[in-house]
């Protein structure tokens, strides 16, 4: 009884921690999205430089992570296994590149699209994760799963048809951001599991944020630097950009923490809840136009996403049950072997 009580208590603690990770990520993601929209939207703060904003975030994250790791020694810098230059080039650099492009395009979309419509487009994330997972052999192709992906895509297409502020450039930017983000999520799972790398959230930023910043330098020099020079009269509000960067730093920690401690599936499920909250906030507070066709299309996509997450959850449960059964068989085999050895020793005596 005591052992079962201890096990149930441990399971409950794990469940509560998972809910805490999800709640923190939803809150921080919600805050950063609304804050970035406020800064980038021409009708609000009117600072339409998404690459610059992303670089400010990554520069702030890099500096703070370096301070915590190298100066204050808040966490140990080495990973397990040690982060060699070849391992960094093959694992961290691709994730940093994907992350930089995902943030750049996602932030750029806020200039052209409403918050509510962007969240509807993000419903395509499971489609992208599943498709890219097949490419990386992390998923197996199934006709039923593909039919579900088509239903999600169909729902998003209806939502796009009913969008009052449809902008082809904004949609293209957001779809590209979804593709880059889905690839990044799959590679993070490979980085944390398949290659046996153990990184806590701060060391994750310590390695990823600097190369993310570096990948943005080249497009920034050609795309936004000339515009910033022309807008020399602009004086940034350090309170606005400082608090915005601090929120971005906390969100980055929460992302690595959520994916590392749970899974990309959990993040997808949490993302659905966050999207509904943002759509409601966008309609009620920001006063973005949300049409009935928008909601109908997103409702279809939502059902598809919910079914996809349900199937993934059932598959995880089956896998966990098989793992426990295999462990039980191994323990039973070891006990039988030990009993046979005891009998042999008794007969020889």
Q: Which of 292, 319, 306 is nearest to 163 (CA)?
A: 292
pLDDT tens-place values along the chain, 349 residues long = 444 454 466 667 777 777 888 888 889 989 999 999 999 988 888 888 999 999 999 999 999 989 988 888 776 655 556 677 888 888 889 989 999 999 999 999 999 999 999 999 988 988 998 899 888 888 888 888 889 999 999 999 999 999 988 999 999 999 999 999 999 888 877 776 666 676 677 888 888 899 999 999 999 999 999 988 887 666 778 899 999 999 999 988 887 777 667 666 677 677 778 888 888 888 888 888 888 999 999 999 989 988 887 887 787 777 777 777 777 767 676 677 777 666 666 666 5
User: 247 near 32, Cβ under 8 Å?
Assistant: yes
| Cα(141)–Cα(279) distance, integer angstroms | 32
pLDDT for 221 equals: 95
pLDDT score for 240 = 92
pLDDT of residue 263: 66
Please list, residue by residue across 286-312, b when 16 or more beta carbons sit within 10 angstroms of its beta carbon and e when fewer do.
bebebeeebbebbebbbebbebbbeeb
Check residue 70 and give its pLDDT: 83
**What's CA 301's distance to the chain center, in Å?**
19
- Measured between alpha carbons, how far is 259 from 192 in angstroms, rounded to an integer? 9
| pLDDT given for residue 8 in this prediction | 63
pLDDT of residue 167: 93
Per-residue confidence (pLDDT) for residue 346, from 0 to 100? 63
Structural domain boundaries in the chain: 25-329
pLDDT score of 195: 67
Q: Cβ distance 158 to 293 under 8 Å? A: yes
Instruction: Return the pLDDT at 171.
Output: 95
Determine whether 31 is exposed, middle or buried from the number of CB atoms within 10 Å of its CB (0-12, 13-18, 19+).
middle
């Amino acid at each position: 009884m005591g052992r079962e009580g201890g096990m149930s208590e441990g399971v409950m603690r794990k469940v509560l921690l998972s809910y805490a990770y999800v709640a923190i990520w939803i809150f921080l993601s919600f805050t950063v999205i609304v804050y970035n929209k406020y800064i980038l939207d021409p009708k609000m703060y009117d600072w339409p430089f998404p690459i610059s904003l992303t670089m400010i975030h990554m520069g702030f994250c890099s500096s703070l992570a370096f301070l915590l790791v190298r100066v204050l020694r808040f966490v140990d810098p080495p990973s397990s296994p040690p982060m060699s230059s070849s391992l960094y080039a093959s694992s961290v650099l691709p994730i940093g590149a994907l992350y930089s492009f995902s943030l750049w395009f996602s932030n750029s979309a806020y200039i052209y699209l409403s918050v509510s419509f962007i969240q509807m487009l993000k419903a395509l994330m499971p489609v992208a994760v599943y498709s890219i997972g097949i490419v990386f052999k992390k998923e197996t192709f199934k006709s039923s799963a593909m039919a579900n992906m088509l239903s999600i895509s169909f729902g998003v297409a209806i939502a796009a048809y009913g969008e009052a502020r449809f902008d082809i450039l904004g949609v293209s930017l957001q779809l590209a951001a979804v593709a880059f983000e889905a690839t990044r999520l799959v590679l993070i799972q490979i980085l944390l599991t398949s290659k046996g790398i153990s990184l806590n959230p701060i060391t994750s930023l310590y390695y990823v944020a600097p190369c993310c910043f570096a990948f943005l330098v080249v497009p920034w020099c050609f795309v936004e630097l000339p515009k910033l020079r022309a807008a020399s009269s602009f004086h940034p509000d350090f309170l606005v950009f400082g608090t915005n960067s601090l929120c971005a730093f906390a969100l980055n920690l929460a992302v690595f923490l959520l994916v590392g401690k749970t899974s990309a599936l959990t993040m997808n499920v949490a993302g659905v809840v966050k999207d509904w909250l943002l759509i409601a906030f966008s309609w009620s507070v920001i006063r973005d136009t949300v049409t009935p066709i928008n909601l109908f299309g997103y409702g279809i996509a939502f059902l598809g996403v919910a079914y996809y997450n349900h199937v993934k959850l059932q598959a995880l449960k089956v896998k966990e049950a098989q793992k426990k059964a295999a462990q039980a068989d191994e323990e039973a085999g070891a006990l039988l072997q030990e009993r046979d050895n005891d009998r042999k020793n008794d007969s020889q005596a």
